[in-house]
Amino acid sequence: MDDLLYYLLIGIGYVLYNWLTRKRMPMPDRQSTPEDAGNTAPKRQVTFEELLREITEAKEGKSPAGPTEVDVVDYDDVFTDQIETLEELTPSVESVQFNEEYEKAKNMAFNRLSLEETAKLEDTQVSFNRFSVFEHTSSRNLLEEYTADLRDSEGLKKAVVLSEILNRKHF
């Protein structure tokens, strides 16, 4: 039940967020006029062939042949604020220097010799047991360990307990 309530709250929050952030489009104040009453036929949809013809004629620089019902939208008016901020998009001196240094380093990386090209087999030392002098070998002297345990009172207790465990009496 708690999960259902949790998901329900998330859904309500999502719907509210979309509703509040949605851009409000102004409703056109269109009143019916007598000319519109007689002209109630829906607009004819543009076919694929007509669209293709318009595109090819626009590429060739010709004007479209024949009347079409496609509305022409001038998008230059929409992007005027972005054109004015073009000066902000010009690269700064620091970014230009950074790019130049990056390109230099990239070119130098290709001009250097690789590790495979610089490595020589003659320079490699192939001697065995070179590191044996660094190995620490510890030898265990059991006699010294047992005598140290017997001299200690704790060690003597351990020895008695171990002897009782190892030499069990069978009943």
Determine, yes or no, domain membership for 107.
yes
User: Which whole number is the average pLDDT over 22-40?
Assistant: 58
158's tokens: 């351990």
Whether 119 has a pLDDT exceeding 80, the answer reads yes
Determine, yes or no, domain membership for 72.
no
Contact 46, 68 (CB under 8 A): yes
Give the per-residue pLDDT at 12: 93
- CB-side neighbour CA atoms (13 Å) of 136: 2
Indicate the pTM of the whole model.
Answer: 0.20
Q: What is the DSSP letter of 133?
A: G
How many helices and strands in the chain, by DSSP H and E? 8, 0
What is the number of domains present in the chain?
1
- CB-side neighbour CA atoms (13 Å) of 30: 6
Determine, yes or no, domain membership for 104.
yes
Contact 155, 149 (CB under 8 A): yes
Determine, yes or no, domain membership for 100.
yes
Determine, yes or no, domain membership for 13.
no
pLDDT digits (tens, 9 = 90+) for 126-171: 778 878 888 877 788 888 888 888 888 888 888 888 888 888 877 5
pLDDT digits (tens, 9 = 90+) for 51-98: 888 888 888 875 555 555 566 777 766 665 555 555 566 667 777 888
Determine, yes or no, domain membership for 166.
no
Residues 105/107/111/115 CA torsion (nearest 10 deg): 50
| Structural domain boundaries enclosing 112 | 93-122
Determine, yes or no, domain membership for 101.
yes
Determine, yes or no, domain membership for 110.
yes
